[in-house]
Chains A and B, each alone.
Chain A
Amino acid sequence: MQIKAGFKKEWLQFTRTFRLGGILLGIISFAFADPLMYWGMGLLMQAISDSYGMIGSTSTDIDSALGMLFGSASTTYSVTMAELCSTSLLIAMLVLMSPCGGEQKKRATIIPSCTGLEFFNYLVPKYVLYPGVIFVTSFVSCCISGGLCNLLFDSDRIGMGMILLGAVMCAVYMAFYTVVYMSIGLCTSRPGIVTVSMYLGVSLVQIILTSLDLTDFHPLTLRTLVCGGMFSENFVLADNAASILVGIALSVVIGVMMFILTLTVLKGKKINNQEDKPEF
C-alpha cells in the first residue's frame, strides 16, 4: 500500500513540477541539437570553403579538415554522447534535487515518517522511477541521435547494432550515475553540494583511474567508450566485449548496493526514544 502510494507521489512530483519536462528537454534536446549544430556548422564551413575556391585559393586542405570535424557521423555521435554524459546529467541532477534529498532537507518527510512510512517503501519508488526514466530517455535520445547522425552525414556512418549498443551503454551509465547521486543525496540530505561534488568528482575519478591504468571493467568504462573511440573504424568490439559486459553488470550491482546502503543509513538514523531506559 505504501509502495503504491509512493509511486503515485513520486509520479505526481515528477510530472507536475516540470521535472519530467526538464529531464526530457535536458536529455532529448541534445539528441537533436548536437547533430544539427555540427551539420549546420559543416554547411557553413563548406560555404566558406567554396568561396575560397571561387577566389582562386586551393580548398583541398580545408575540405579535408572539415570532413574530419563536421562531416563524420561517428565523430558527431561521440560528441553527442559526451554531451549526454555530462551536460544532460548535470541538468538531470539539478532537476532531481528535490526528490533526492531536498524534501528531507525541507523537512517535508516529517509528517509521513511520523505517521509510519517505512524507509524501504519510501525508497523503492524513487529507485525505480527516476533511474528508470533516465534510462529510457537516454536510450531513446541516443537512438535518435545515432539515426540523425547517419541521416545528416555521409562519411563514417554507424551501424544499427553499434547505435543500439552505444545507447544501452550510455543509458546504463546515466541510470547508474543517477542512482549514485540519489543515494548520496538521500543519505546526506544535501543535494546541492552533492550535485556540484559529483559533477566535478566524476572527471576527477576518471583521471585518477586513467592514471592508474584502470580503464576497463568498471562503470566509467561505459562512459569512456561511448564518448571515445567506440564508433571509430579501428574499434574492435570483441576486444572490449568483456569490459562492456562487466561494466554493465557492475553498474547494476553497485546500484543495488547503493540502494541497500541508503536504506541502512536511513534506518540507522531512525530514532526510538521509548526504547532506552534511563541511565542514572
Chain B
Amino acid sequence: MVRIRNLYKKYGSYSVLRGLSMDIEKGDVYGFLGRNGCGKTTTMNIITNIIPKDEGEIIIGDGKPVKIGYLPESPVIYGYMTSREYLEYIAACCNYDGDVRARVNEVLDIVGLTKAADRRAKGYSRGMTQRLGMGAAIIGKPELLIFDEPTSALDPEGRAEVIEIIERLKGMGSTIVLSTHILSDVERVANRIGIMTNGALAEQGALNDILRKYAGDVIHLKVRGLTDDLKIKLLMVDFARAEYNDMNDTFRFGTDDSEECSRRLIKLLADNDAAAESLKIGTASLEEVFRKVVGG
C-alpha cells in the first residue's frame, strides 16, 4: 500500500529524515513509533503532501490515485459548524458520490458523536474534537488512514474511545498508520510496527516477531511453598533472566525458549519440594523492545 525508499528531509541544516525506508501493506494497522522529534510527523506530513520531501521515493497504491484520510495531531475543526455540517462539508470536499446524509450518520455512529451531531464543534471537548477529526478522515472511505498521535493529550476515557474507533476501523479492513507514544495502544491494535530512530527505521516488522526477536518470551511464575533458599536458587538460574516482584510474589523469567525454560523451572521446583501455583508464558512488552531499539 505504501512504499517509501530513502526519504530525506532537512529543516535548515538539521536532517530530520536520513534515508527512511518503510513498507505498509494493505490491511495493516502500522504502529509508527519513535521518540519526540525523530521525524514521525514529518514523514506523515510528507506522505500527505503537506510538506515537500527533499529526496526519496514514495509510492502509494499500485499506481492508481489512493484516497488518504489524515488526522493531524491537533486537528483544527471549524468551531462554528456542527459535527454533521462539518462532515457534510468534508464529504463534499472528497467528492463523496454516495448518499452523503446516510454516510454522515454512519460516520457519526462510528466515532460516537450521534448525540452531539447538531451541537457546534466550538463547545466540544478535546476528545470529541479528536473523534470528529477521525470522522473527517474516514468519511470519504479512504484506502489509507494516517493518524498522528490521536490519543495524545486525551484523558484515559477519551483515549479508550479513540482506540476503540481504531479497532472498529481495523475490523472494517482499513489500512492505518498510527503514530503514538502510548505503546500499550499500539500493542492493542497494531499488527505491524516500525521503530524510528535517527531519521530512519531501526526496526520494522510484525509486532509479535519483533517482540520475540528483542525480548523473547516471558514466564510469570508463582510458587507454592517458596522458601528463602529456593527464592535465591530461582533468581540465580543460568538459563533465564530472573526478576522477583515482591508486590505479587511472582517471578518473571525472560527467555528465548519458553518451553525448555518452563520444563527446567518445574524440575527445579520439584527438586526443592515446591510446586508452581501458576505459570504463564507470554511475550515481553513493547515498552522493553522500544527501549532496546532506541537505546533508552
Answer yes or no: are A and B bound together in one complex.
Answer: yes
* Interfacial residues of chain A within 259-280, with CB under 8 A of chain B in the complex: 270-274, 276-280
B136 touches A111 (CB 8 A): yes
Interface assignment of B133: CB less than 8 Å from any CB of chain A: yes
Main secondary structure of the interface of B (DSSP, over half): mixed
Please name the residue on chain B nearest to A279 by beta carbon.
B55
| CA gap between A169 and B138 in the complex, in Å | 48
Nearest CB to that of A16 among chain B residues? B80
- Give the size of the chain A interface in residues (CB under 8 angstroms): 32
- On chain A, the residues within 8 Å of B49 by CB distance are 114, 270-273
Query: Is B140 positioned at the interface, with any CB of A under 8 Å from its CB?
Result: yes
Residues of the A chain whose Cβ atoms lie less than 8 Å from the Cβ of B5 = 278
Q: Does B136 lie within 8 Å of A273, measured CB to CB?
A: no
Residue A161 at the chain B interface, CB threshold 8 Å: no
Interface residues of A in 90-142 (CB under 8 A from B): 103, 106-108, 110-112, 114-117
**B85 at the binding interface (Cβ < 8 Å):** yes
CB <8 Å contact, A4 and B92: yes
Which residue on B lies nearest to A110, using beta carbons? B72
* Residue tally, chain B, CB below 8 Å to A: 43
Closest B residue to A13 by CB, please name it: B80
Q: Are A110 and B52 in contact (CB under 8 A)?
A: no
Whole-angstrom distance from the CB of B3 to the nearest CB of chain A?
10
Q: A2-B95, A111-B137, A278-B5 are in contact. Are A12 and B76 (CB under 8 A)?
A: no
Q: How far is the CA of A200 from the CA of B95 in the complex (A)?
A: 42
Q: Which of A9, A103, A276 contacts B89 (CB 8 A)?
A: A9
Does B75 sit at the interface, judged by CB under 8 A? yes
Chain B min CB distance to A5 (Å) = 3
Q: Determine the distance from Cα of A178 to Cα of B89 in the docked complex, in whole angstroms.
A: 25
**Per a CB cutoff under 8 Å, which of A2, A16, A271 touches B52?**
A271
Cβ of A114 and Cβ of B48 under 8 Å apart? yes
Report the Cα distance A103→B79, complex, angstroms.
11
Question: Which A residues are CB-close (under 8 A) to B247?
Answer: none
Check if B286 is an interface residue, CB within 8 A of chain A: no
A115–B93 CB distance below 8 A? yes
| Contact A117/B72 with A17-B80, A278-B57 known, Cβ cut-off 8 Å | no
Instruction: List residues 1-40 of chain A with CB under 8 A from any CB of chain B.
Output: 1-2, 4-6, 8-9, 12-13, 16-17
Contact with A along B74-109 (1 / 0, CB 8 A): 011110110001001110111100000000000000
Nearest-neighbor residue (CB-CB) of B94 within chain A: A115
**B142 closest partner in A (C-beta):** A115
- Say yes or no: B93 contacts A112, CB within 8 Å: yes
B69 touches A114 (CB 8 A): yes
Residues of B within 8 A of A280 (CB): 6, 55
Contacts of B80 in A (CB 8 A): 12-13, 16-17
B93 and A2 contacting across the interface, CB-CB below 8 Å: yes
**Cβ-closest chain A residue relative to B51:** A271
Residue ID in chain B nearest A118 by CB atoms: B93
Q: In the complex, which residue of chain B has the Cβ closest to the Cβ of A19?
A: B80
Contact with A along B124-152 (1 / 0, CB 8 A): 00000000010011011010000000000
> In the bound complex, what is the Cα–Cα distance between A176 and B133 (angstroms)?
36
Q: Which residues of A contact B93 (CB under 8 A)?
A: 2, 5, 112, 115-117
**Which chain B residues border A106 with CB–CB below 8 Å?**
76
In the bound complex, CA of A4 to CA of B6 (Å)? 42
Q: From B58, B59, B67, B81, give the contact of A12 (CB < 8 A).
A: B81
Q: Is B53 an interface residue (CB 8 A)?
A: yes
Given contacts A112-B89, A114-B50, contact A278 B78 (CB under 8 A): no
Q: Are B56 and A278 in touch, CB under 8 angstroms?
A: yes
- Taking CB atoms, residues of chain A closer than 8 Å to B75 are 110-111
Which B residues touch A115, using CB under 8 A? 67, 69, 90, 93-94, 136, 139-140, 142
A22 CB → nearest B CB, Å = 14
- Chain B residues closer than 8 Å to A12, beta-carbon distance: 78, 80-81, 85
* Cross-chain contact A108 with B140 (CB below 8 angstroms): no
Kindly provide the distance from the CB of B66 to the nearest chain A CB, expressed in whole angstroms: 9
Q: Does B68 touch A at the CB level, under 8 Å?
A: yes
Q: Do A9 and B78 have beta carbons less than 8 Å apart?
A: yes
CB<8 Å pairs between A and B, sample of 28: A2-B92, A8-B85, A9-B78, A12-B80, A106-B76, A110-B72, A110-B75, A110-B76, A111-B77, A111-B137, A114-B49, A114-B50, A115-B90, A116-B140, A270-B49, A271-B49, A271-B50, A272-B49, A273-B49, A273-B53, A273-B58, A274-B59, A276-B53, A277-B57, A278-B5, A278-B6, A278-B56, A279-B55
| Known A108-B76, A112-B89, A273-B47; 4 more pairs at CB < 8 Å | A107-B76, A111-B70, A116-B95, A280-B55
* For the complex of A and B, 4 pairs with smallest distance between CB atoms: A5-B92, A117-B93, A115-B94, A108-B76
